[in-house]
Amino acid sequence: MAQAYMTEAGSGGTGPDRRGSRLRHLYRVLRDDRGIWRRGIVLAALAIVLALVMVMHARIPNAIGNLGSLTETFLPWLGVVLIPLLLILGLVRKSATALVALVLPVVVWLNLFGGLFGDKTGAGGDLTVATHNVNADNPDPHGTARDVAASGADVLALEELKASEVPVYEQALAATYKYHSVQGTVGLWSKFPLTGIAPVDIKLGWTRAMRATVNTPEGRVAVYVAHMPSVRVKLAAGFTARERDTSADALGEAISDEKLDKVILLGDLNGTMNDRSLNAVTSQMRSTQGAAGSGFGFSWPASFPMARIDQIMVRGVEPTSSWTLPRTSSDHLPIAARVKVTTP
- pLDDT, tens digit (0-9, with 9 covering 90-100), for 98-107: 999 999 999 9
Which of 82, 117, 152 delimits the end of a domain?
A: 117
Rg (CA), the chain: 26
- Residues 93, 142, single domain; the answer is no
**Distance from C-alpha of 102 to C-alpha of 87, rounded to nearest angstrom:** 7
- Residues 177, 89, single domain; the answer is no
Amino acid at the residue 132: H
In-domain check, residue 12 = no
**Distance from C-alpha of 92 to C-alpha of 88, rounded to nearest angstrom:** 6
- Residues 294, 241, single domain; the answer is yes
**Distance from C-alpha of 210 to C-alpha of 188, rounded to nearest angstrom:** 9
Q: What is the pLDDT of residues 35-51, one digit of tens each?
A: 677 788 999 999 999 99
Q: Output the pLDDT for position 344.
A: 64
Residue 90 reports pLDDT greater than 70: yes
Task: Identify the sign of the CA torsion 270, 273, 275, 276.
Answer: positive
Query: In this structure, are residues 115 and 328 in contact, taking their beta carbons and an 8 Å threshold?
Result: no
Residue 170 reports pLDDT greater than 50: yes
Q: Output the pLDDT for position 11.
A: 46
In-domain check, residue 40 = yes
Query: In this structure, are residues 98 and 90 in contact, taking their beta carbons and an 8 Å threshold?
Result: yes
Residue 332 reports pLDDT greater than 90: yes
Query: In this structure, are residues 210 and 200 in contact, taking their beta carbons and an 8 Å threshold?
Result: yes
User: Can you give the residue range of the structural domain that contains 153?
Assistant: 127-340
Q: Output the pLDDT for position 48.
A: 96
Q: Output the pLDDT for position 64.
A: 75
Average pLDDT over residues 231-255: 80
Which of 94, 117, 140 delimits the end of a domain?
A: 117
In-domain check, residue 89 = yes
Higher pLDDT, 31 or 112: 112
**What mean pLDDT is reported for the chain?**
90
Q: Provide CB contacts within 8 A for 301, sequence distance 6+.
A: 331, 332
Question: Could you give the C-alpha distances from 122 to 151, 152, 219, in angstroms and in order?
Answer: 18, 17, 22
Q: Output the pLDDT for position 3.
A: 47
Which of 96, 117, 138 delimits the end of a domain?
A: 117
The span from the first CA to the last CA of the chain, in angstroms, equals 78
- Residues 263, 209, single domain; the answer is yes
Question: Could you give the C-alpha distances from 319 to 2, 126, 144, 303, in angstroms and in order?
Answer: 70, 10, 25, 28
Percent of the chain with pLDDT over 90: 75
pTM of this prediction? 0.84
- Residues 52, 103, single domain; the answer is yes
Average pLDDT over residues 254-282: 96
pLDDT bin (cut points 50, 70, 90) of residue 233 is low
pLDDT bin (cut points 50, 70, 90) of residue 52 is very high
Q: Output the pLDDT for position 37.
A: 74
Average pLDDT over residues 264-270: 97
> Is residue 43 exposed (0-12), middle (13-18) or buried (19+ Cβ within 10 Å)?
buried
- Residues 299, 269, single domain; the answer is yes
Per the structure, how many domains does the chain have? 2
Query: In this structure, are residues 215 and 190 in contact, taking their beta carbons and an 8 Å threshold?
Result: no
Amino acid at the residue 165: E
| DSSP helix/strand/coil, 252 | helix
pLDDT bin (cut points 50, 70, 90) of residue 18 is low
Q: Output the pLDDT for position 326.
A: 97
Residue 250 reports pLDDT greater than 50: yes
**Distance from C-alpha of 50 to C-alpha of 44, rounded to nearest angstrom:** 10
**DSSP bridge partners of 209:** 226
pLDDT bin (cut points 50, 70, 90) of residue 69 is confident
Q: Output the pLDDT for position 230.
A: 87
Residue 315 reports pLDDT greater than 80: yes
**Distance from C-alpha of 198 to C-alpha of 213, rounded to nearest angstrom:** 10
Q: Output the pLDDT for position 173.
A: 98
